[in-house]
Homo-oligomer: A and B are copies of this chain.
Amino acid sequence: MTTYDNADLKKAGLKITVPRLKILDLLEQAENRHMSAEEVYKRLMEEGNDVGLATVYRVLTQFESAGLVLRHNFEGGHSVFELNHDDHHDHMVCSETGTVIEFCDPVIEKRQREIAEEHGYSLVDHSLILYVKPKSSGSNRN
């Protein structure tokens, strides 16, 4: 498991500061690896570390540029961040519980590249999110 430390911050040209370490820490620790900036902020406050929300955004953005963190734009115009363990994966979000499940499917990955090629492009990135509901869920239509 990729775990980032001071060295990684330095490598990214970022000074070792309390907010940065705390945020990195939080992302490592977090049971729920996918957090919004707001969540990170709240969590830090709860733990007594009072960083500004603006700093959280700035740090997360810097981490993203540095490749330490991935940003995903889920539905509803808000982003979630997660540590970049450079094991690529996509997401499945349960509409009832909000649970986020990660998955990676080689078949889909391959087809994506092929499709881009077929259209004369090369794949730079992609975003795939499956919105699902529990199979045994209350409303069983179809």
What is A's interface to B at a CB cutoff of 8 Å? 73, 75-79, 92, 94-95, 101, 103, 105, 107-108, 111-112, 115-117, 119-137
Contacts and interface: CB of A to CB of B under 8 A. Distances in A.
**How many chain copies does the complex carry?**
2
Given A73-B77, A77-B73, A111-B108, A124 B116 contact: no
A76 B72 CA distance: 10
Contacts of A121: 92, 94, 132-135
Question: Is chain A's interface secondary structure helix, strand, loop, or mixed overall?
Answer: strand
Given A75-B127, A127-B131, 12 more contacts: A77-B77, A77-B78, A92-B116, A108-B108, A120-B136, A122-B134, A122-B135, A123-B130, A123-B132, A124-B131, A126-B129, A128-B129
